[in-house]
Amino acid sequence: MAADLTIPFVALGASLAIGLSAFAAAWAERDIGTAAIGAMAEKEELFGKGLILTVIPETIVIFGLVVAIMILGLAG
Amino acid sequence: MFRVQPMSKLVVIGPLSLVEKTTTKLHDLQVMHILDHTKSEDVDIGMPMARASSIAGLLVKLRGIAASLKIDLAKAPRKAGDTMTLKQIEGQCSILASDANSTHDVLKHHEKAITEFAQKKQLLHALKILRLDPETFQECLSIRYLIGSVKHDQDLKEAISSITSRFELNCASIDAKTYIALFYEHSKEKELKAILEQHVFQPLDINPILGMKGTAGQLIEQTERQLETLQKKKDAASKKQDMLARKWTPFLAQQESYLVQEAEIAEAPLKFGCTQKAFMIKGWVPTKRVQDVVTAMNNSMKNKLYITTQPLEEGETVPIEFANPKAIKPFEFFMHLYTLPKFDEVDPTFFIFLTFPLLFGFMLGDIGYGLTTLILFYIFMKKMPQFKDFFKILIFASFASIFFGALFGEFFGAEELGGYELPHLLSRAHQLNLLLYIAVAIGVVHVLLGIFIGFYNELKHHGFLHAFCAKLSWVIILAGAGFTGVSYLNYTSLPMLVGFITLGIGVLLLTIGEGTTGVVEIPGIFGNILSYARLMAIGLASVGLATVVNKFAEEFFHQGGFMIVAGVVTLVVGHLINILLGIIGPFLHSLRLHYVEFFTKFYKGGGKPYKPFGIKT
């Protein structure tokens, strides 16, 4: 009899949801962060704006986490 | 509290004879944010006072003295001392300048001599290893010489032999460098130089040591003795310079501050409007102090000035000063970090004061961590008074962490203490879904708060109808989405259509209020609210890490013996790291939730700070 693969696949789905979204957020933040630091070197008052722009993609991970929790929850 | 300090535009007009006295009085009052006058046909820009140039000259002189004595005036402590007249300062500076300059010159002279002698010594060393003396080099009609270093002297002699037999070559190597001295006939110069070039020849200039009497060895000893004497003289000079610097730093620092202030007064008329007989000063004064200023000016100027307030012009920028109670003041730090509010906007400092610590506390939420950070930040605040405001914010946040720690029943990640379970309203580690719902609910409340403040701002500027369409439509949209969701999940008997209709009305109103740009932003608001899920996520990560540390340590403790030490180390290091992450994470995320999710609902910003004349920035 084939082993029941439900649990491993659910776990894999959840981990992909958070892992890939974290990767995407990191990738986006890398570019924004570089540009923000560059702008700050020219004009230091831009720290506040730079910080905000840098953290905007972070929400992607939060969405990933919510989706991961939902996957785990729906699968029981 | 919700508004920045109201400002009034004050105009001061008086006869030119009083310009100096008026400026000094305004400087003392430290209350007026002076506006630059723009030149017009009738009213020109004022001329700086007569003493401005002499003050500027004196400042340059004084800073020159400080530089030659190697004093950093920016870092020098400032003590209040007797005030001197400009003449007295000038006299003192002249005496000091001659002292400082002569010491500086002597020092430079000795330093130059030391460099020269050191160079001579090096040349003599090169001659010594080449077994030559300075006397060897004499002006000669037919014989020339070249002395210097080459990359290598391999085959050099053979190469030269192939051109001429009448030459003398001395070679010697020291410290991975090869020196040569070549004496040759004048006629062969060109060919020989070509050969030397192939060996990367770098000539030494021996002019400084030509004509010295004695062998190279003796001369080296002699030079060393001279160097020693020079070094002693240089040390004495630099000691004298240090002494002068120590003695005069307080004087220079104090007079520099005084002169900077005087220069500010003397150059202030450049901001005034002036005619041939009169001057005019325009500036902003906090409304509550207008009466004081008028009375003070009139008293000291014997009512010879005409002082009046002017109404605010359309589109004029008013300088911003906060008007918050003392407890809320530290939170203005976040406003400076972002951008100051516009004059006619709600000042959100009070809301940050309310919600920043709460969101921070919700994420850190641990009695143990809260206590640790509280003690830590209290010590930091005492040690670093210049960052007092920043640490005060964190102390507020630490209290909130302790409060939420009590709600969650967590102490350093453990939910029980000495075998007794800590009482809790909600267990973060076990009631994950509930925590998520609470986090999103906090998001709804916070975003709604932002929308309501936005509504108030719009109401003030564009009237009720626009404010309702542009801001309250968001509330209707959220309500519609909520209805639809609740009906879909069968929590209510209302049909889903009701939700859809509400949603539709909301979108319609928004289109009227903000146009299509508003409609494009609709998915954004749900993203904003969902973004508050980070309150759960970061808290969960913090609990998770703490639990792991505790489990590890527990394992070590069970093994007993030496392992108990390892357990203690694990506990200390693990929790330290977690506390550090627990400060950075919640701080940045709480800040972000304010700046990105909360502020975008109502805040425009872009105000310029209020800088009263007479207060140093």
- Annotated domain spans of chain A: 17-75
Average pLDDT, chain B: 87
Mean pLDDT across B176-187: 84
Model pLDDT, residue B81: 65
At residue B409, what is the residue type?
G
Please state the length of chain A: 76
Taking only the tens place, the pLDDT of each residue in B477-505 is 999 988 888 888 877 777 888 888 888 99
Model pLDDT, residue A37: 92
- B449 versus B69: the higher-pLDDT residue is B449
Q: Is the pLDDT of residue B271 over 80?
A: yes
Model pLDDT, residue B39: 85
Q: Is residue B44 within 8 Å of B273, Cβ to Cβ?
A: yes
Taking only the tens place, the pLDDT of each residue in B106-145 is 999 999 999 999 988 888 888 888 888 888 777 777 788 8
- Cα dist from B33 to B278, B293, B295, B320, B451, whole Å: 21, 13, 18, 10, 34
Work out the minimum CA distance from B533 to partner chain A, whole angstroms.
6
B524 touches chain A (CB under 8 A): no
d(CA B300, CA B293): 11
Percent over 90 (pLDDT), chain B: 26
Q: Which CATH number fits domain B1-46+272-321: 3.30.950.10, 3.40.50.300, 3.30.450.20, 3.30.70.120?
A: 3.30.70.120
Facing B339 at nearest CB: one of A48, A56, A61 = A48
Work out the minimum CA distance from A29 to partner chain B, whole angstroms.
14
Beta strands in B54-109 (DSSP E): none
3-state secondary structure labels for all residues of B132-156 = CCHHHCCCCCCEEEEEEEECCCCCH
- Partners of A48 on chain B (C-beta within 8 Å) are 337-339, 595
Model pLDDT, residue B617: 62
Mean pLDDT across A8-17: 91
Q: Is residue A67 within 8 Å of A20, Cβ to Cβ?
A: no
- B610 versus B77: the higher-pLDDT residue is B610
Facing A48 at nearest CB: one of B338, B432, B527 = B338
The complex's ipTM works out to 0.80
Model pLDDT, residue A57: 87
Query: Tokens 């879904």 label which residue?
Result: B433
Q: Is the pLDDT of residue A1 over 60?
A: no
Percent over 70 (pLDDT), chain B: 99
d(CA B566, CA B573): 10
Contacts of B517 (CB under 8 A, 6+ apart): none
Taking only the tens place, the pLDDT of each residue in B23-57 is 888 898 889 999 888 888 888 888 888 888 888 88
DSSP letters of B404-453?
HHHHHT-BTTBSEETTEEPP-S--TTT-HHHHHHHHHHHHHHHHHHHHHH
B479 touches chain A (CB under 8 A): no
Taking only the tens place, the pLDDT of each residue in B236-269 is 988 988 888 888 888 888 888 888 888 888 888 8
From B600, which residue of chain A is nearest by alpha-carbon distance? Answer: A52
Model pLDDT, residue B381: 93
Dihedral sign (CA B109, B115, B118, B122): negative
Q: Is residue B306 within 8 Å of B417, Cβ to Cβ?
A: no
Give the residue range(s) of CATH 3.30.70.120 domains in chain B.
1-46+272-321
Model pLDDT, residue B80: 66
3-state secondary structure of B562: coil
Facing B432 at nearest CB: one of A47, A63, A69 = A69
Model pLDDT, residue B82: 67
Closest CA to B595 of B325, B396, B336, B343: B336
Facing A69 at nearest CB: one of B436, B592, B596 = B436
Taking only the tens place, the pLDDT of each residue in B509-556 is 888 888 888 888 888 888 899 899 999 988 888 898 899 999 989 888
Determine the longest span between alpha carbons in chain B, in angstroms.
122
Cβ of A62 within 8 Å of Cβ of B531? The answer is yes
Facing A62 at nearest CB: one of B338, B339, B530 = B530
Helices B563-592, B388-408: axis angle to 10 degrees equals 110
B531 touches chain A (CB under 8 A): yes
Cβ of B595 within 8 Å of Cβ of A66? The answer is no
**Fold classification of B115-227 (topology level):** Alpha-Beta Plaits (3.30.70)
Cβ of A48 within 8 Å of Cβ of B537? The answer is no
Q: Is the pLDDT of residue B179 over 60?
A: yes
Model pLDDT, residue B76: 73
Chain A with chain B: Cβ pairs closer than 8 A: 43
DSSP letters of A31-61?
HHHHHHHHHHHH-GGGHHHHHHHHHGGGHHH
- Cα dist from B524 to B192, B475, B505, B601, whole Å: 82, 14, 18, 11
Give the residue range(s) of CATH 3.30.70.2750 domains in chain B.
115-227
- Partners of A49 on chain B (C-beta within 8 Å) are 338-339
Mean pLDDT across B330-358: 91
Q: Is the pLDDT of residue B228 over 90?
A: yes
Model pLDDT, residue B492: 75
User: What is the helix (H) or strand (E) element at residue B295, kind and residue range?
Assistant: helix B290-301
- Partners of B534 on chain A (C-beta within 8 Å) are 58-59, 62
Binding-face residues of B in 551-610 toward A, CB within 8 A:
588, 591-592, 595-596
